[in-house]
A and B are shown apart, each in its own frame.
Chain A
Amino acid sequence: MSAASTAEPAFVAKTKTGRFTDFVDARVGGSGILREFGRKVFPDHWSFMFGEVALYSFVILLLSGTFLTFFFDPSMAETHYDGSYVPLKGVEMSVAYNSSLDISFDVRGGLFMRQVHHWAALLFVASIAVHMLRVFFTGAFRKPREMNWVVGGVLLILAMAAGFTGYSLPDDLLSGNGLRIIDGVIKSIPIVGTYISFFLFGGEFPGTAIIGRLYMLHILLVPALILLMIVLHLFMVVVHKHTQYPGPGRNDNNVVGYPLGPVYAAKAGGFFFIVFGVLALMAGFFTINPIWNYGPYDPSPVSAGTQPDWYIGFVDGALRLMPGTLGDWQVEQVWFGYVFSFNVLLPALVPAGILFTVMFMYPWIERWITKDDREHHVLDRPRNAPTRTAIGMAGFVWYCVMWAAAGSDLIATHFGVSLNDVTYWLRTLFIIGPIIAFIVTKRVALALQRKDREIALHGRETGRIVRLPHGEFIEVHAPLDEYKRYRLVGFESPEVLPAVPNEHGVVTRKEKRRAFLSRWFFEDRVAPATPAELEAAHGHGHAAVEAPEEAKSLSH
């Protein structure tokens, strides 16, 4: 020890900041962390910002939400309004609604903070959704990131839960009707539904307990869970390091990008302020949830064109699409003296259940079909995974049909068409929309791949028409440089994996199913262009773009 200390004298900081930093470092060991992360490389792409938007929206939600808690009172006791908003003067209402009005009209900046909070909530769920679409369509969920995909899915559900519990707090007419719908859905649950409803509302709907209970969930339990999940999510991002888009110099063994300090940190940090600024603009100029127009909750009135916040829309739309009667046959059934409200249960649970189950399981489904156990750090361009992209689009269209159905009445009034026809059309699209989306997407992806091949082999069209000495006109194609070409050819195109017998020499039924799905996935494929093909294309002038048959097996 003494020998070492004589060889290397102890570090003495020279500046004040240096001494302070050294004091902290010597006690918590920060230099090791800084050494590890200070120059950590992050790939850069605009589509990587959606997750950041979600994170920053959440921070803004915490900031604006904390402000709101100082003024909001979640009591459902009755009071008479005596604030500044004249049209509601003297109206009987709950203390919660009263304090929400006070925040809007009698607390300076209160309306601004309410609107920042609500816009940020909408943006939070939206950015999570778009982030998940990006992750899905680029294949970022593959090994080793499957668990982080699940954590992300849980975050989406929690974000929706946070949104809904917050939406109901002002106890206005609109959100009260939303709670009424939730109560109706809960009551349709077999056996325990009535009990859950009574336990949630502290008795009959609406009771005097629900706002206080939702408030606790909204400001404590759900945000704590979200925070926990965010920590897990980011921890895994650090462990895995970020994925990167394919391109020259990028492969599964490296990560290409900017070092955390200073460029990436500056861009990411600056982006927080940009998100905040955009939300502030929206809150300053666009009204969101004008609760003073709706009035206090009352079980009798309802406004036409009632809409939930956008992320609940798909469930509400599914409720609208389900027919309650087929001719004279009631979808609701009484069996053994008990009621099965299939007209409520099925649309409330089944579509959301299918969407989330497939979403959570998809990484394992694809891994099973492809038997691909390698780590993937380079993303797929969506066109280079046609079947996955088509599956994603089918699910996305299905979701969007349900979401549009939540506005069926507004579609009917805005376009002057029959409400019933809108519903019939949407019911049809609910069934065939995803199928059409699947077929169209897959064909478009394959066509884009063929275009990539064409460009890789023959170069870019220059638009320059040249007349040859013997009179022929040709358009000059400019060859790509090798970096651009590599972007078009540097991808994997998996082939169909036929069923193979297990160790007992038996081809199991499961393996047959897997082989069937593998064929469904990869039967139609466009192989990346090869150097030999490029050679041939140059050698024979304008020879076929198509590869020789053994190299690829495009079905059309």
Chain B
Amino acid sequence: MGNHSDGSPNHSGTVATAGQNEVEKFQDPGLPPHRLRLADTDPKAAKRAERQVALLFGISVVGTLIFLVAYFAIDLGPGESTIGNIRLQNMLLGLGTAFAMLGIGTGIVHWAKALMPDHEVSEERHAIRYEEDRQAAVRIVDDIVEETGIKRRPLIRNTLLGAVALAPLPAVAIFGDLGPRPDNKLAHTMWAPTDGRLKRLARDPDGTPIKASDVTIGSAFHVIPEGLNELVEGKLNEKAKAVVLLMRLDPDSLNPSAGREDWGYNGIVAYSKICTHVGCPVALYEQQTHHLLCPCHQSTFDLTQECKVIFGPASRPLPQLPIAVDDEGYLVATSDFKEPVGPSYWERDMHERSINS
């Protein structure tokens, strides 16, 4: 719209004194004079603007047609739904909608800007609240309170407050069945031997068991417990706790602490893949540096120091899975993890102590 402040040679009184103690300020000169647009003075320009608006509306009609053609002419039936077809249809639907909408939108705005009156008007603001109303409201509230007698009858007031305070409790309690109690579910994984049989380490995702001889120095395997894929219920829940990374290093570079000497086999070690920070899979193995890196928040664990945190927001090392080799040469877990895997939780330390006692 018109920039009213341009080109106004006339000067009015510019000086006003607001108060005796204040510094004089410039006086508000008022709204600048209105400037006419070309379309206001030249009928030809107005006619031109009219045609432009009509053209924009016409473009909108074209857009709608593009959409309809793209929708009906391109079929996504069996065999038709190729990536190329979908991309083309998506593009044309977008283009059609864009033309249809932008045509209407720019048309209306152009109409408003070029042809509708662009004279800015000034309107008085009204008080949000009037003192008279406020006093009337106060009287009304006083009357209401008085008529209920709530101030004179504290017995009613107090019992009501008590009742209202307790009444929402069922609304909280009724959500009690949203989930089961956590108990110690987070403390155990599928790796625990069932009926004395040790679980083999299997490849993720196909579930084939891994022989120790398959694991060459420098290699890494994504591992799940055997039998995971055969689970009917809760497969993802178990997988979310049980996934393991298996790596083989030069045995001399590993420095097992006391009590963990027999948790690996010939330089092969297995660590939980679930980050101890907030639970992302620690999926990146840097073979040269023996570091494990979590791609979500970049916690870095050093394999040669039993996956101690060397960088990033995780606080605890990755839990190690004790492994050995069975009679047929397959890798097996000799027990469950000796601590809960994954992100920390309130009862975690308690669970760790009960696992090791």
- The answer to whether A266 and B178 have CB atoms under 8 Å apart is no
Closest to A239 in B: B128
A282 CB contacts on chain B under 8 angstroms:
94
- The answer to whether A344 and B277 have CB atoms under 8 Å apart is yes
Q: Is B273 an interface residue (CB 8 A)?
A: yes
**Given A204-B237, A274-B109, A344-B344, A531:B14 Cβ within 8 A:** yes
> CB within 8 A of A193: which of B30, B296, B346?
B346
**Given A202-B178, A206-B236, A187:B345 Cβ within 8 A:** yes
Output the least CB separation between A67 and chain B (Å): 12
Q: In the assembly, what is the distance between CA of A555 and CA of B187, in Å?
A: 64
User: A130-159, CB under 8 A of B: which get 1 and which 0?
Assistant: 000000000000001000000000000000
Output the least CB separation between A270 and chain B (Å): 3
- The answer to whether A270 and B109 have CB atoms under 8 Å apart is yes
B26 CB contacts on chain A under 8 angstroms:
482, 485-486, 489-490, 528-531
Q: In the assembly, what is the distance between CA of A308 and CA of B26, in Å?
A: 52
Output the least CB separation between B99 and chain A (Å): 8
B108 CB contacts on chain A under 8 angstroms:
266-267, 269-270, 273
Q: Is B196 an interface residue (CB 8 A)?
A: no
Q: In the assembly, what is the distance between CA of A266 and CA of B1, in Å?
A: 13
Q: Is A361 an interface residue (CB 8 A)?
A: no
Q: Report B1-40 residues with CB < 8 Å from chain A CB.
A: 1, 4-5, 7-9, 11-12, 14-15, 23-26, 28-32
Q: Is B279 an interface residue (CB 8 A)?
A: yes
Q: Report B318-357 residues with CB < 8 Å from chain A CB.
A: 342-350, 353
Q: Is B259 an interface residue (CB 8 A)?
A: no
Q: Is B156 an interface residue (CB 8 A)?
A: no
- The answer to whether B8 and A483 have CB atoms under 8 Å apart is yes
A180 CB contacts on chain B under 8 angstroms:
240, 278-280
User: B107-130, CB under 8 A of A: which get 1 and which 0?
Assistant: 111011100111011111100100
- The answer to whether B350 and A249 have CB atoms under 8 Å apart is no
Q: In the assembly, what is the distance between CA of A510 and CA of B240, in Å?
A: 54
Closest to A296 in B: B236
Q: Report A209-264 residues with CB < 8 Å from chain B CB.
A: 209, 239-241, 247-249, 251-259, 262-263
User: B179-219, CB under 8 A of A: which get 1 and which 0?
Assistant: 11110011000000000000000001100000000000000
Q: How many A-B residue contacts, CB cutoff 8 Å? A: 370
Output the least CB separation between A374 and chain B (Å): 13
- The contact size tier of chain B is 35 or more
Q: Which of A103-111, A386-394, A432-440 contacts B (4 or more CB under 8 A)?
A: A103-111
- The answer to whether A285 and B91 have CB atoms under 8 Å apart is yes
Closest to B311 in A: A420
Q: Is B314 an interface residue (CB 8 A)?
A: yes
B178 CB contacts on chain A under 8 angstroms:
199-200, 202
Q: Report B288-334 residues with CB < 8 Å from chain A CB.
A: 295-299, 309, 311-316
Closest to B243 in A: A300
A187 CB contacts on chain B under 8 angstroms:
343-346
- The contact size tier of chain A is 35 or more
Which of A251, A322, A419, A486 is packed against the most chain B CB atoms within 10 Å? A486
Q: In the assembly, what is the distance between CA of A144 and CA of B81, in Å?
A: 57
**Given A181-B279, A255-B123, A530-B23, A300:B222 Cβ within 8 A:** yes
B101 CB contacts on chain A under 8 angstroms:
273-274, 276-277, 280
Q: In the assembly, what is the distance between CA of A234 and CA of B144, in Å?
A: 30
Output the least CB separation between A68 and chain B (Å): 15
Q: Is A396 an interface residue (CB 8 A)?
A: no
Q: Is A305 an interface residue (CB 8 A)?
A: yes
B100 CB contacts on chain A under 8 angstroms:
277
A259 CB contacts on chain B under 8 angstroms:
121
- The answer to whether B1 and A44 have CB atoms under 8 Å apart is yes
Output the least CB separation between A15 and chain B (Å): 23
- The answer to whether B345 and A194 have CB atoms under 8 Å apart is yes
A324 CB contacts on chain B under 8 angstroms:
277, 299, 309, 312-315
Q: In the assembly, what is the distance between CA of A551 and CA of B349, in Å?
A: 67
Which of B12, B74, B91, B98 is packed against the most chain A CB atoms within 10 Å? B98
Interface residues of B (CB under 8 A from A): 1, 4-5, 7-9, 11-12, 14-15, 23-26, 28-32, 71, 74-76, 78, 81-82, 86, 89-95, 97-109, 111-113, 116-118, 120-125, 128, 175, 178-182, 185-186, 204-205, 222, 224, 234, 236-237, 239-241, 243, 273-275, 277-281, 283-284, 295-299, 309, 311-316, 342-350, 353
List the 7 closest A-B pairs by CB distance, nearest first: A284-B94, A184-B278, A273-B105, A270-B108, A249-B31, A84-B81, A277-B102
